[in-house]
Structure 1
Amino acid sequence: MRPILLQGHERALTQIKFNKEGDLLFSCSKDHVINAWFSHNGERLGTYDGHSGAIWTLDVDSQSRFLVSGSADNTLRLWSVQSGKCLYEWEFPTAVKCVAFNETDDQVVCITEQRMGYQGAVRVFNINRDGDGTAQATEPAHMFNPIGSKATVCAFSYVQNRIVTGHMSGKVAIFDYKTGEEVDNNERAHGDEVTDLQMAPDRTYFITSSKDKAARLHQTKDLKVLKTYTTETPLNSAAIAFGKPYILLGGGQEAMKVTTTSLRQGKFETRFWHKIFEDEVGRVKGHFGPVNTIAVSPTGTCYASGGEDGFVRVHHFDQTYFKAKPYGEWEILD
């Protein structure tokens, strides 16, 4: 699996996302720039310029028409994927740490940071898809402040009016965003900050990664922990492979400690775990620093990882990956 190395950022990567078809890859980093790439050959399609602070988060809709991004410049921005133009900008008192589209692409949820006397807030905006996309409502359709530990990551559930959140304390919770009520929670989902939350395609289960060196698979309905993948390094990202029973994990020692750490000790690999049997089945090296974000193509043919070193590495799976029998002689029917 020879990787395609994407060099388009000058600082650490914060998030990467594939579009629904898997032919485009979007990356954002602390250098104020969002890049769009062709996933099959790593060619850069274009950049989205406008933010004046580190970009923490992005998401793209299922039609590859709109892109949303959240930044340390305290703005949430809506972009045209095709033209690269910023269509609308929402301003907040603090930085935007996480954004996500819902399944029908007509709503976006965002988390703003708890800082400088402002409470952490979760806002849901209705996205007007008519016309060119510049006519958006200034105010959120719904807003609430999670009480207790601050929320770090979020995603829409498959249940209407519900979002799933991961928190600084390691808690995972479900909120009714219309009322702001916490419907359910698992206080002990993790022992430390939840660093990533990625939904399965049907949103009935999701994976979280944490600084407590573990990733967990949760049932969306009741937040029951289905599987646990324990490593010996803090995790920054976890992704679910499509079409195969694998989980991809990435992390490594914190950036501050990396200068005194050799590559082997730093554990800067992408690690493959068997989703069902909870066994580690492989590792892919490459990054010169912690892996900050991982995304798997919806086609199941490749995955990408973004590191503290400023590089995005796209790995297209070999034939051996598709021929492997992860369940032994058993064949699982779809």
Structure 2
Amino acid sequence: MDKKKVIAPLVCHGHSRPVVDLFYSPVTPDGFFLVSASKDSTPMLRNGETGDWIGTFQGHKGAVWSCCLDKYAIRAASASADFSAKLWDALTGDELHSFEHKHIVRACAFSEDTNLLLTGGMEKVLRVFDLNRSDAPPRELEKSPGSVRTIAWLHSDQTILGSCTDMGGVRLWDVRTGTIVRTLETKSSVTSAEVSQDGRYITTADGSTVKFWDANHFGLVKSYDMPCVVESASLEPKYGNKFIAGGEDMWIRVFDFHTGEEVGCNKGHHGPVHCVRFSPGGESYASGSEDGTIRIWQTGPSNNAEQEGSSTVKDVSEEITREIENVHISSAQEDKTADISDNPTNQKATENE
């Protein structure tokens, strides 16, 4: 442990119940921003660099499981146990639209062009809403084999990936046909699936394993066993030479991408870590926990060795085999029941001036 750096994080209070999802915006002319989802029913917007609170989105009546910002950080979206996904004005905090569902909504994601909103949840249905025609019926894709846990867009909005709460594997939908075209095999349910900032890799966390997949040819690049059960993982976006993972032991661990060696271990949370995400420039990363807090950890300045390492990561991608066999979905895993917040609807969203 003597070689592992201990870092004092920025601690962001405000949520009264567990923080279950975090999302960083890209860098905008006004900086970058961090939005958080919590079981307390109130997503919060913060300055991504300092962690300072900007505003709270008020309107959900149940636990909020997922949140995201569009690439301009002008609009936010949230998915909730109150059977709705909501679209918000990130500048004023106003609710722009509520998309009603028939069951708990676990995940939401803006398309790269920001015109579409993707949702999924306990209905086992992926829906694509046209944000230019909010009142129009959504497009529904081929039904998911299980309750949807995570979703993301890739290939310039031509492909959608999703994982389930009750079975292993990551399924890939072709947006043009609306059908599942491939499944990436994992033994356990995938609780975190992230597309890298450059679109080259898919990072997944499934139980005690973190995997990296080629996002173009879907070959398995790396697979590392973790020292504990992890719920979330994120790849450093600038150089791609390290990744972070957090889970049930309350630690946020930093690993070398090339070797899987643990190079850092930071503790500060007082409950399991549900989500970890790198900031868009890789200078810091955030963690959200069962303890209701968000902590932002600085990574420190990158050195030349790290920059040289990034070229190695790209070389690895070029060497991946182009043919991947079709795989079968793993047997069902334990279904995690989504709970609904007891908190009543609060007051209208507020913001700092």
Sort the TM-score into its range (normalised by shorter chain). 0.7 to 0.9
**Cα deviation 1:61-115 (Å, max 9, x = unaligned):** 001111110000000100000000000001111011111112111112111214x
User: Is 2:62–2:81's contact at 8 Å kept on the other side of the alignment?
Assistant: yes
Match of 1:32 in 2: 41
Match of 1:256 in 2: none
Tell whether 2:160 aligns with 1:163. Answer: yes
Tell whether 2:258 aligns with 1:276. Answer: yes
Aligned partner of 2:83 among 74, 80, 83 = 74
Match of 2:3 in 1: none
Q: Give the Cα–Cα distance (whole angstroms) in 2 for the partners of residues 232 and 104 of structure 1.
A: 38
Match of 1:261 in 2: none
TM-score (norm 2): 0.80
Q: Give the Cα–Cα distance (whole angstroms) in 2 for the partners of residues 323 and 280 of structure 1.
A: 18
Q: Give the Cα–Cα distance (whole angstroms) in 2 for the partners of residues 142 and 177 of structure 1.
A: 10
Q: Give the Cα–Cα distance (whole angstroms) in 1 for the partners of residues 147 and 26 of structure 2.
A: 30
Match of 1:227 in 2: 222
Tell whether 2:104 aligns with 1:124. Answer: no
Tell whether 2:305 aligns with 1:325. Answer: yes
Q: Give the Cα–Cα distance (whole angstroms) in 1 for the partners of residues 105 and 148 of structure 2.
A: 11
Tell whether 2:110 aligns with 1:104. Answer: no
The 3-state SS of whatever aligns with 1:73 is coil
Tell whether 2:12 aligns with 1:2. Answer: no
User: Is 1:124–1:177's contact at 8 Å kept on the other side of the alignment?
Assistant: no
Aligned partner of 1:216 among 211, 214, 219 = 211
Equivalent AA in structure 2 for residue 78 of structure 1: L
Equivalent AA in structure 2 for residue 295 of structure 1: R
Question: How many pairs align?
Answer: 302
Equivalent AA in structure 2 for residue 191 of structure 1: K
Match of 2:17 in 1: 11
Aligned partner of 1:296 among 278, 282, 290 = 278
Match of 1:206 in 2: 202
Q: Give the Cα–Cα distance (whole angstroms) in 1 for the partners of residues 205 and 287 of structure 2.
A: 15
- RMSD of aligned alpha carbons: 2.0
Equivalent AA in structure 2 for residue 225 of structure 1: L
Percent identity over the alignment?
Answer: 26
Match of 2:70 in 1: 61
Match of 1:152 in 2: 149
Cα gap change, 1:40 to 1:221, in 2 (>3 Å): closer
Cα gap change, 1:159 to 1:67, in 2 (>3 Å): closer
Deviation of residue 191 (structure 1)? 1.3
User: Is 1:30–1:54's contact at 8 Å kept on the other side of the alignment?
Assistant: yes
Tell whether 2:32 aligns with 1:23. Answer: yes
User: Is 2:232–2:245's contact at 8 Å kept on the other side of the alignment?
Assistant: yes
User: Is 1:293–1:305's contact at 8 Å kept on the other side of the alignment?
Assistant: yes
**Cα deviation 1:305-328 (Å, max 9, x = unaligned):** 000100100112234xx237358x
* Greater relative contact order structure (CA < 8 Å, 6+ sep): 2
Deviation of residue 330 (structure 1)? 6.7
The 3-state SS of whatever aligns with 1:51 is coil
Q: Give the Cα–Cα distance (whole angstroms) in 1 for the partners of residues 70 and 108 of structure 2.
A: 11
User: Is 1:24–1:36's contact at 8 Å kept on the other side of the alignment?
Assistant: yes
User: Is 2:111–2:157's contact at 8 Å kept on the other side of the alignment?
Assistant: no
Tell whether 2:101 aligns with 1:92. Answer: yes
Cα gap change, 1:331 to 1:159, in 2 (>3 Å): closer
User: Is 2:246–2:273's contact at 8 Å kept on the other side of the alignment?
Assistant: yes
Deviation of residue 23 (structure 1)? 2.7
The 3-state SS of whatever aligns with 1:17 is strand
Equivalent AA in structure 1 for residue 39 of structure 2: K
Aligned partner of 1:83 among 80, 89, 92 = 92
Q: Give the Cα–Cα distance (whole angstroms) in 1 for the partners of residues 40 and 188 of structure 2.
A: 27
Aligned partner of 2:182 among 178, 181, 184 = 184
Cα gap change, 1:271 to 1:330, in 2 (>3 Å): closer
Equivalent AA in structure 2 for residue 154 of structure 1: I
The 3-state SS of whatever aligns with 1:63 is coil
The 3-state SS of whatever aligns with 2:186 is coil
Q: Give the Cα–Cα distance (whole angstroms) in 1 for the partners of residues 93 and 233 of structure 2.
A: 28
TM-score (norm 1): 0.85
Match of 2:351 in 1: none
Q: Give the Cα–Cα distance (whole angstroms) in 1 for the partners of residues 296 and 136 of structure 2.
A: 37
